[in-house]
Amino acid sequence: MIAIPAVDLRGGKCVQLVGGDYDAEKIRLEDPPSVAREWVREGFTRLHVVDLDAATGRGHNMEIIREILRTADVPVQVGGGVRDESCIERLLDEGASWVVVGTRAVEDEDWREEMANRFPGRLIIAADVRERYVVTKGWAETSRLNVVDFVEELSVLPLAGVLVTAVHLEGKMQGTDLPLMEDVAEASAWPVFASGGVTSLEDMRALEHRGLAGAVLGMALYTGAIDPRRLAEEFGA
């Protein structure tokens, strides 16, 4: 299982939010590309970059994403507000190894099938979840779609993986939703990456035991709750 540091972008800064609340910002760092390079120096071999402004319709951070892709020297998955083919193509052309697609892939079955077949093995479908129901539009709207049912539907597409974020635990440092993640991993034909509430090495080991392929970590790394070197040594590849 691989640990993947998150580099979340907002207003040109690297931030961490609590509970999926755009107004509940706890961490703010001035130089996101330097943050990304520091995680690589600590021994991590993959990064997760999200444009929160693009996801919520508040603008974009494309220049910063471009610099991270140019200087990070490890594979990077990029998401946030990816809702059309041209955006996918642009991110891949700029050097993203995978593109993370959320809201439109959830809401538009025909589009996600077309994009998955057009970019086989390059898309990660993001299912942001609050109490097992998928949320969209930057965590602002809750659907009636159960995440396990959704993940089962994705099994026919040529994806790189599925990213499931437990929004109700995001940034709260209370541990992740292990029953949720276990059920999703069992239902998925593709590697599943967990996000939201991963706070300790014990959380990581528990996720690995339940069949997860990896975990995206934010607050636990930025606050020092997990020693990054120890994490990278055990879950760096």
How many CB atoms neighbour CB 124 within 10 A? 23
Task: Report yes or no: 106 and 115 within 8 Å, Cβ to Cβ.
Answer: no
**119 residue type, one letter:** F
Gap between the Cα atoms of 233 and 80, Å rounded: 29
Q: Which tens digits make up the pLDDT trace of 165-179?
A: 988 666 556 688 899
Question: The whole model's pTM is what?
Answer: 0.92
CATH of residue 174? 3.20.20.70
Is-catalytic flag, 21? no
Q: What range does the domain containing 165 cover?
A: 2-236
Is-catalytic flag, 23? no
pLDDT of 156 reads: 97
Gap between the Cα atoms of 92 and 84, Å rounded: 13
Total count of domains within the chain: 1
pLDDT band at 92 (very low <50, low <70, confident <90, very high): very high
Asked whether the predicted pLDDT for residue 141 surpasses 80, the reply is: no
User: What is the mean predicted confidence (pLDDT) over 21-27?
Assistant: 70
Q: Which residues pair with 192 in a beta bridge?
A: 162
Task: Report yes or no: 127 and 89 within 8 Å, Cβ to Cβ.
Answer: no
Gap between the Cα atoms of 205 and 98, Å rounded: 25
Asked whether the predicted pLDDT for residue 112 surpasses 60, the reply is: yes
Q: Which tens digits make up the pLDDT trace of 212-228?
A: 999 999 989 999 999 99
Catalytic residue among 8, 177, 183, 203: 8
Catalytic residue among 51, 128, 177, 203: 128
